[in-house]
Structure formats: C-alpha cells, structure tokens
C-alpha cells in the first residue's frame, strides 16, 4: 500500500486526530495509538455500544495497534520518546501546551528525531490570543462560518448531523502531513510541524465568502435548502411525500429541465439563458419546479430526470445505502466480524487508488491489545513488561 513503511504515533482522542491517523492507517501506515490505561479514548464508549464498546470505535480504530501508557509516569514518557525516535509522524490533538508540559515540545522531539513530522490539531491553532481556549469541532464550525449559513433564515443556525468540523480538520491534517513528508524526503530530510486549527479548516471551505464581503459588503445568510447564487439547485417534495434533490444549474442542464417540464417560455426567455439571470428570478423558478414535482411520485420522476441527463437523487438514509447497487459495486460497505464473531458492516475506503488501494485489515483493537508486542519490539523482555504492568505504567 502507498504508506507501507510509514510509522505513526497517535496521541489523540475522539475525532480529529484519530480520524487523521485512521486515514493514514487505511493506506498502509503502521499506526500505534497511545491511550491511557484507565479507559483509553472516550470514543470507545460513544454512541451505540455493542457489548460495552462503541461500534464507531471499531471503524475509527481500524488498522491501528493499541498501546497503553500512563503519561503521568516518567517511565511512560521515556518509552514514548523511544517510540517517537523511530517514528515518521506524531499525530496529537491535545489543547496547545499539553505536549510541552509532558516534556515533548516539538523542539525536544525534533532534536530526538530530526525526521519527525508533528501533526497538531486544535481548536484555534498553536499560536494567537485564542490558542489556549478549548475548541471542539462545534466551535470550529461556528467560528469558521459554516453554522451561520446553515439552516433557514427565519430560524437560528443549525448544525449538520455529523462532526463535520473535526473531519474537515483531519483531512487538512492528512494533506499537510503528506506534503511535509514529501518536503522531508525531497529537501534535506528534516521534519516540521503541521499546525491545523479547526476553525481555519472550516473557514477554508467557505467558498466565496471573504471576497464577496470585501468587495460588496455582502454577508451570506442562511438559505434553507437552496444554494444562493446557483439556480436551480434545491430539494423538492414529490406527490408521495418523498424528497428529491434536483441540480439543474448548468446552462445546458437547465435547458433540458425546461424541455422536460414543457416550459417553452423558459427556453425563449433570454434572462434564463445563464445562471445570473436565473438566480435573479429564482423564486419564480423554484415555485414552478415545486409545483411540477408535487404532481409526480419519486420513482417515476427520478427515472424521467435521469433519462434526460439531469442530475437528481433521493435523499438517502443509511438504510437506502445498504440497498444501493452503486455503494455495493464500489465496495463502500465492507464486511468484518466483531470479537464475538458477529458480522459487522463498515464504511468503505476513500479514495479509490487503482494500483495501491487502501484496505481494512482489522477493526479497532481492544485497549492495550498490542502492549506486549510493541514493547517487545522496543527491546523489553517479558519481565520488564510485567514490571511496567505491575507499576501501572501500562
């Protein structure tokens, strides 16, 4: 796999850091997840539990090895330093300053291992007046602009149904790590710090928000299920009560939709020939599409739209995904087994690489499952490992 031979140490919990290292592990990196012996990552107990363990954990922890270390112990810190001296990447999402208080500041670690890449994920980044404030993904989504534009204008902002801010930060973290590895291997062999702030990761996704405010003083507001400035692209309700997304905002696509709707007047109206003209009259267009969709059932309407090459889709629940042939064909639903042998379906690997695809090799491990193996690889014998266990270092 493309990251085979890469050694990653994860000092993360919950979402952003562990998701970043999960992505690296899915493409072949050896990821050692370091957790506290007294319970480990809280995500092990989040959401739906099966026999006491989160089903989410089995996905978020897949392909990782679990090592428990009590980082309040100087002996544990020494063992961690030995691991980091052999590693390519450290992933951590502590609040800024925690790594330093552990005696593991980047300057210390890069003296120990000049090739080490240190990925640091936090709410506000490692510097600046807000750096020490706690900041989960929800805060990053709020400050980064996403929450402000999400929902309907006559109601308070809403959130997406997942921790999207953490996941976006993790993706930027992986991108930054791979770029830092490329730089290390092409420009002298030295590592560096990759500093990802959750609010900045979200902010980076906000499209034209900044220049439009700067030039026009335009503040984008919540717009419900339409996309302001891009028309038509919205959700509509069919006769049978089912929702459908229709995205006919391309000029040629809009003409095909007008033909299907038998709206010759739209085809003859110069204002509808491009997006700017359509968006200026979007209320009229959406009202007409709403009325047209409301006369048809979802299945027949989808077939008709697809026959006319107009992008449209149902709004899938997870139950729909389990039945969809596209998901199945592209291995987006993988099969595994829980520790008691029960079959478990897990999400597939993204992206798809033609020559060196990612894999799900095993599910998230039990807490400390790999203690003996990892410590043996560091040169400790059985007696030394037993002493660490007795002294509650592991």
Same domain, 58 and 160: yes
Look up residue 269 and give its two tokens. 């109206």
pLDDT of residue 227: 86
- Which residues are part of the catalytic machinery? 166
Residues 141 and 285 in one domain: no
Residue 93 to residue 15: CA distance in whole angstroms: 9
Indicate if 27 and 96 belong to the same structural domain: yes
pLDDT of residue 212: 96
pLDDT at res. 24: 98
Q: Does 224 map to a domain? A: no
Same domain for 69 and 176, yes or no, is yes
Q: What is the pLDDT of residue 158?
A: 94
Q: How far is residue 102 CA from its own chain's centroid? A: 28
pTM for the structure as a whole: 0.94
DSSP 8-class letter at 107: H
Q: What pLDDT is stored for residue 343 in this prediction?
A: 98
pLDDT of 338? 98
Residues 72 and 168 in one domain: yes
Q: Domain boundary residue among 316, 342, 358?
A: 316
Q: What is the pLDDT along the chain (394 residues), one digit of tens a residue?
A: 999 999 999 998 999 999 999 999 999 999 999 999 999 999 999 999 999 999 999 999 999 999 999 999 999 999 999 999 999 999 999 999 999 999 999 999 999 999 999 999 999 999 999 999 998 899 999 999 999 999 999 999 999 999 999 999 999 999 999 999 999 999 888 999 999 999 999 999 999 999 999 999 999 999 999 988 899 999 999 999 999 999 999 999 999 999 999 999 999 999 999 999 999 999 999 999 999 999 999 999 999 999 999 999 999 999 999 999 999 999 999 999 999 999 999 999 999 999 999 999 999 999 999 999 999 999 999 999 999 999 999 9
Looking at residue 199, what is its pLDDT?
97
**Residues in a beta bridge with 35:** 68
* CATH number of the domain residue 280 falls in: 3.30.1540.10
Please check whether residue 221 lies inside any domain of the structure. no
Strand order in the sheet with 64-68: 64-68, 30-35, 7-11, 89-92, 117-122, 193-197
Give the CATH number of the domain where residue 108 resides: 3.40.50.10540
- Domain of 120, in residue numbers: 7-204+330-390
Burial of 225 (0-12, 13-18, 19+ CB in 10 A): middle
* Cα separation of the two ends of the chain: 31
């Amino acid at each position: 796999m493309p990251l085979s031979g890469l050694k990653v140490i994860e000092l993360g919990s919950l979402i952003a850091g562990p998701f970043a290292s999960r992505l690296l592990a899915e493409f072949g990196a050896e990821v050692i997840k370091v957790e506290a012996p007294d319970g480990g990552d809280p995500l092990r107990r989040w959401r739906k539990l099966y026999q006491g363990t989160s089903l989410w954990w089995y996905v978020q922890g897949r392909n990782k090895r679990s090592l428990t270390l009590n980082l309040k112990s100087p002996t544990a810190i020494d063992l961690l330093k030995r691991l980091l001296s052999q590693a390519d990447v450290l992933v951590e999402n502590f609040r800024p300053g925690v790594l330093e208080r552990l005696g593991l500041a980047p300057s210390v670690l890069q003296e120990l291992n000049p090739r080490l890449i240190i990925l640091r994920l936090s709410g506000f980044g490692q510097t600046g007046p807000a750096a020490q404030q706690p900041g989960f993904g929800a805060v990053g989504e709020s400050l980064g602009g996403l929450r402000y534009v999400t929902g309907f204008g006559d109601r308070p902002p809403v959130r997406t149904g997942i921790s999207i801010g953490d996941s976006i930060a993790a993706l930027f973290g992986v991108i930054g790590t791979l770029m830092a590895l490329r730089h290390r291997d092409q420009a002298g062999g030295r590592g560096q710090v990759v500093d990802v702030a959750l609010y900045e990761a979200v902010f980076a996704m906000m499209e034209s928000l900044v220049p439009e405010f700067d030039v026009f003083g335009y503040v984008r507001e919540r717009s419900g299920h339409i996309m302001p400035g891009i028309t038509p692209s919205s959700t509509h309700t069919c006769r049978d009560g089912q929702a459908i997304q229709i995205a006919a905002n391309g000029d040629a696509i809009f003409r095909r939709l007008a033909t299907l709707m038998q709206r010759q007047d739209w085809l003859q109206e110069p204002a509808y020939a491009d997006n700017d003209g359509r968006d200026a009259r979007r209320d009229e267009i959406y009202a007409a599409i709403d009325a047209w969709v409301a006369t048809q059932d979802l299945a027949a309407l989808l077939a008709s739209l697809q026959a006319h090459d107009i992008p449209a889709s149902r709004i899938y629940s997870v139950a729909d995904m389990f039945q969809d042939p596209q998901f199945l064909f592209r291995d987006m639903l993988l099969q595994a087994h829980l520790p008691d042998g029960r079959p478990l379906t897990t999400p597939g690997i993204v992206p798809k690489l033609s020559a060196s695809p990612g894999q799900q090799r095993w599910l998230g491990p039990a807490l400390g499952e790999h203690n003996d193996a990892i410590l043996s690889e560091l040169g400790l014998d059985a007696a030394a490992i037993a002493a660490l266990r007795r002294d509650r270092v592991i």
